[in-house]
Chains A and B, each alone.
Chain A
Amino acid sequence: MIDPNSCHRGIFSIDGPLPGYAFPTTVSYTPLGERLWTATDGIYRTVFAEGDEGVVAFDTFWSPAAAGSYRTAIDRLLPRRELHTVVYSHEHLDHCGFAEDLAPEASTILAHEEAAAVIAARGSDGQVVPTETWGGERKGFEIDGVAFELINPGATHGAGNVAAHFPEAGVLFMVDTVIPGVGYTFFPDWHLDSYLPNMRRLESLEWDTFVPGHFWPLDRQSFGDNLAYYERISEAASEALAEGVDPDDFPAIDAWAKERLRAEHGRLFRFDEYIGMNVMRYMAHHRTGGWGLEDAGGVVEGSL
């Protein structure tokens, strides 16, 4: 068991125990290919691969305890294997913040240079600074017999957020972009100006199964439907602004969104939880013109 008083704390600044970081989750795993697996605790999801000698794990889960549960799951499936490589999908702590708990022995921590810059400057407790970085848009890797390509389609969510393509398994893994159902809360750190065009670049790749960072895998149709949802919410936010809904007043936006969008999208997973927040974020985006340099000319033209 992890001690909530002494566990890694990310960037939490309050005193006292952090039981939320010490609560052990149950991580299960499912095969995606001959040596490729997906692991989930029911909410977070990632992938890991069996190498010739050891294990290549993507991401770390969301807390010190969850990272430990992820490691337990890997060790159960692939006992006595060295977890020598951790690949970060992006830089956020809730997916990549706890390599010290997952694999303190890992000799290689791999990330895109844009993610690595944030990680190094952040200095979060428990997050390991990448030992190896790469730049640009695409790069193929073969690590311990595990072949994959990392792809940065441009600004989507977070910094240096990359997709991992496993052509042999027909799998594309990418975190906090397409997620089943409506969007997560208020689209935290989504770069909405460029999100859709950059994500659609991934549709040109050969894959059958999209493994998201949360909940369950999707097929190509569901991937496209999910992106179309963003288009609709962007339009709905414009409608709300035109109708004079206060873009800062969440209760008013939530009521407007549920009344206006329930018939169209009410059956989507987590509609009631997040539809108001989804619309609110797009309203703020339209009003302010985007958040940060990522939203200023972040659309990448051309195919991958």
Chain B
Amino acid sequence: MSAALEATPVADGVWTAAAGDYCSIFASAGEEVVAVNGFGSPALAGAYAEAIRATVPGSRIVAVIASIDHLDHSAQASELAGAGELVAHELCARVLESRGQRPTRLLAEDAELELAGHRFSLLYRGPSQGTGNLAVHLPEQRLLFLLGPRADARYGLFPDMHFRHLTRVWRELAELEVDAVVPGRGPTMDVDGLRRAADYVDALAEASQRAFADGLPIWVIEAMAPYAQEALQDRFGDLDGFDRHVGIGAIRLVHYYLMGGWGLEDTARPELLLRD
């Protein structure tokens, strides 16, 4: 059975590719294509390649940017890249290599790359979600692709998000001159949407701390969900998925404060991760 995947133009020479809630982008000039990630299964990766070929007939993938290490986005990045380049942040590459993938160009800091006739600015502003998560900026198309933020509240467990730096990273990226922010999951937004995503997480962080200060049993969903709903309803109750997700999100966040964060990513010195 073939997986369904939809390609939609989002800027000059750039398309989004969406499979359900998951999203990526690819860019083309002539027959050369640069794709981001590669989705999580061989079937979806195949559908992604097919969608690229259908959109850009006779195309050849010259590079894949693995923007994150998570399997549901980049499990097939190496296969999709084929003989082309596989670009990743050095930290992301460590995880990819542990799974048998073969990144060919490693970045340790922000980089400007000319690929397939397009200028890509690959930005790493610190830990946000996953390991070595790169923001993919196409300045000429005024477009940003970023995994982590959402236009809705459907964050679930905030998987592998690093709260020490998360919203700072998002707010810094919201200062870029872009018209569209394509998140790795959910609907496309603009920079105001990205700022609102940061506002939501910050508000949830404050509410979860207040819950602890107020003596709630912070490990109990029946206590945390109504508390967080009441605290955030007025500002964020319109976000899709708010009611079903805010409680588990509050439990996740309060444990960040209770435990002190998870690993070096959640400290003031995440650059120590780059040490051998």
Contact status A287-B157, CB under 8 Å:
no
CB within 8 Å for A294 and B263 given contacts A16-B213, A250-B244, A250-B245: yes
Segment of A87-95, A165-173, A259-267 engaged in the interface with chain B = A87-95
Of A17-25, A48-56, A218-226, the one touching chain B: A17-25
Whether the pair A93, B71 counts as a contact (CB closer than 8 A) is: no
- Find chain B residues with CB under 8 A from A296 CB: 69, 94-95, 98-99, 131
A26-34, A115-123, A198-206: which one contacts chain B? A115-123
Question: What residues of B have a CB within 8 angstroms of the CB of A17 in the complex?
Answer: 213
Complex Cα gap A139–B246 (Å): 44
Q: What are the residues of chain B within 8 A of A158 when measuring CB–CB?
A: 259, 262
- Contact between A189 and B213, CB atoms less than 8 A apart: no
Taking a contact as CB atoms under 8 Å apart, the answer to whether A118 and B244 are in contact is no
Whether A289 pairs with B99 at a CB distance below 8 angstroms is yes
Q: Is the CB of A97 within 8 A of B260?
A: yes
Partner among A14, A247, A289 whose Cβ is within 8 Å of the Cβ of B210: A14
Asked if B98 and A297 sit within 8 Å, CB to CB, the answer is yes
Total cross-chain contacts (CB, 8 A): 154
Q: A250-B245, A284-B157, A292-B265 are known contacts. Are A10 and B215 too (CB-CB below 8 A)?
A: no
Residues of B within 8 A of A12 (CB): 209, 212-213, 257
* Cα-based distance from A297 to B213 in the complex (angstroms): 38
Q: Specify which of A13, A18, A188 is in contact with B262 (CB 8 Å cutoff).
A: A188
**Cβ-based interface call for B268 (8 A):** yes
Q: Does chain A have a CB within 8 A of B40?
A: yes
Does chain A have a CB within 8 A of B258?
yes
Return the contact of B157 from the options A19, A20, A248 (Cβ within 8 A): A248
Interface core residue of B212, B244, B260, B273 (most chain A CB under 10 Å):
B260
Interface segment, one of B52-60, B78-86, B247-255 = B247-255
**CA of A104 to CA of B210, assembled, Å:** 28
State the CA gap A277–B266 with chains docked (Å). 22
A291 close to B (CB within 8 Å): yes
Q: Given A20-B212, A122-B261, A159-B263, do A14 and B268 touch, yes or no (CB 8 Å)? A: no
Expressed in whole angstroms, the Cα–Cα distance for A17 and B212 within the complex equals 11
Taking CB atoms and an 8 Å cut-off, the chain A residues in 23-47 that contact chain B are 23
Chain B: minimal CB distance from A292 (Å): 6
Size bracket of the A interface: 35 or more
Residues of chain B within 8 A of A159, CB atoms compared: 263-264
Contact of B258 among A93, A248, A291, A297 (CB under 8 A): A93
Check if B40 sits within 8 Å of A250, measured CB to CB.
Answer: no
The distance in angstroms between the C-alpha atoms of A289 and B40, with both chains bound, is: 10
- Complex Cα gap A295–B98 (Å): 10
Flag whether B42 is at the interface (Cβ < 8 A).
Answer: no
Q: What's the least CB distance linking B66 to chain A, in Å?
A: 12
Does A280 interact with chain B (Cβ within 8 Å)?
Answer: yes
Instruction: Give A258 to B262 CA distance when docked, in angstroms.
Output: 29
By the criterion CB–CB under 8 Å, are B245 and A288 in contact?
Answer: no
26 examples of A-B residue contacts, CB within 8 angstroms: A12-B212, A14-B206, A20-B213, A93-B260, A97-B260, A117-B264, A122-B261, A123-B268, A158-B259, A158-B262, A184-B219, A188-B252, A247-B156, A250-B245, A250-B247, A273-B219, A284-B159, A287-B70, A287-B72, A287-B159, A288-B70, A289-B69, A289-B72, A289-B99, A292-B263, A292-B265
Which of B's residues lie within 8 Å of A, judged by CB? 40, 69-72, 75, 91, 94-95, 98-99, 130-131, 154-157, 159-160, 205-206, 209-210, 212-215, 219-221, 244-245, 247-248, 251-252, 255, 257-269, 272-273
Extra contacts, 18 of them, besides A13-B209, A289-B70 (Cβ < 8 A), are A10-B257, A12-B213, A18-B213, A20-B213, A93-B259, A94-B258, A97-B260, A118-B263, A121-B264, A249-B156, A251-B244, A287-B70, A287-B71, A288-B71, A292-B263, A293-B273, A296-B69, A296-B95
Q: What is A's interface to B at a CB cutoff of 8 Å?
A: 10-14, 16-20, 23, 62, 91-94, 97, 117-118, 121-124, 127, 158-159, 184-186, 188-189, 247-251, 254, 273, 276-277, 280-281, 284, 287-297
